[in-house]
Every structure is written in structure tokens, then in C-alpha cells.
Amino acid sequence: DTGVSQDPRHKITKRGQNVTFRCDPISEHNRLYWYRQTLGQGPEFLTYFQNEAQLEKSRLLSDRFSAERPKGSFSTLEIQRTEQGDSAMYLCASSLDTLGVGYTFGSGTRLTVV
């Protein structure tokens, strides 16, 4: 297992288009998180899965955003009708619900909306 994988690494899209990102967590990790990071800021929490259940969504996640984790394995984050303000780095992380196990982040997907 090589860690958390995210695809694509970069995405440029026109305003109004839909985009979908994929995250493959570390195989034995049951927790999966999505974060968003804009330039010069720390990552902000978007949503969280425990296995296949989406347990929490941030107010940052408008109704244009949807995330899924079918079968508790990989996850997808879809943004509909993209806006320029959606331009950011989208980071995925996974962890275990075990004391002492921290987060492992992927390399992120950089979205640019033009």
C-alpha cells in the first residue's frame, strides 16, 4: 500500500461545469476525510466518512457539493456548476479509529475554475 491516492492531480474547468475527484485511502483505514485548502490558508474540513457512512458535513459544503464512499473503500467528491470561488486544493485523508493513529493525506487535487 503506497498511501492515499488522489486523482486527478490537476483539473482546469470552465465555470458552470461539473467535476469529480477520486480518493483511494489506505486500505485498512476506515475513516476518510475531505478538506479544502486555499492559497495561504490551512486546510478546512469539508466532510467525513466512517466506512461508507457520511457522518458529518461542514457548512462549507454547499448543495453543489456531494461526496460518496460506496462500500467503504474509495471516495468521490463532485462539484456541480463550478464557480471561480471553488478554485482550491482538495485534499483527502484517511485514518483508523484507533488511538495513536493520525491522519495520512494524499497529494491533493488542484482545481482551477476559469
Partner 1 sequence: KQEVTQIPAALSVPEGENLVLNCSFTDSAIYNLQWFRQDPGKGLTSLLLIQSSQREQTSGRLNASLDKSSGRSTLYIAASQPGDSATYLCAGALTNFGNEKLTFGTGTRLTIIP
Binding site for partner 1 (CB under 8 A): 6, 31, 33, 35, 40-45, 48, 50, 55-56, 91, 93, 95, 97, 99-100, 102-108, 110
Which residue lies nearer to partner 1 by CB, 32 or 113? 32
Nearest-approach distance from CB 92 to partner 1, in angstroms: 9
Quote the longest CA-to-CA distance of the chain: 43
Instruction: Report DSSP state, residue 98.
Output: S
Which residue lies nearer to partner 1 by CB, 10 or 81? 10
Nearest-approach distance from CB 38 to partner 1, in angstroms: 11
Which residue lies nearer to partner 1 by CB, 44 or 68? 44
Beta strands in 1-114, from DSSP E residues, in sequence order: 5-7, 10-13, 19-24, 31-37, 44-50, 53-57, 65-68, 75-79, 88-95, 104-105, 109-113
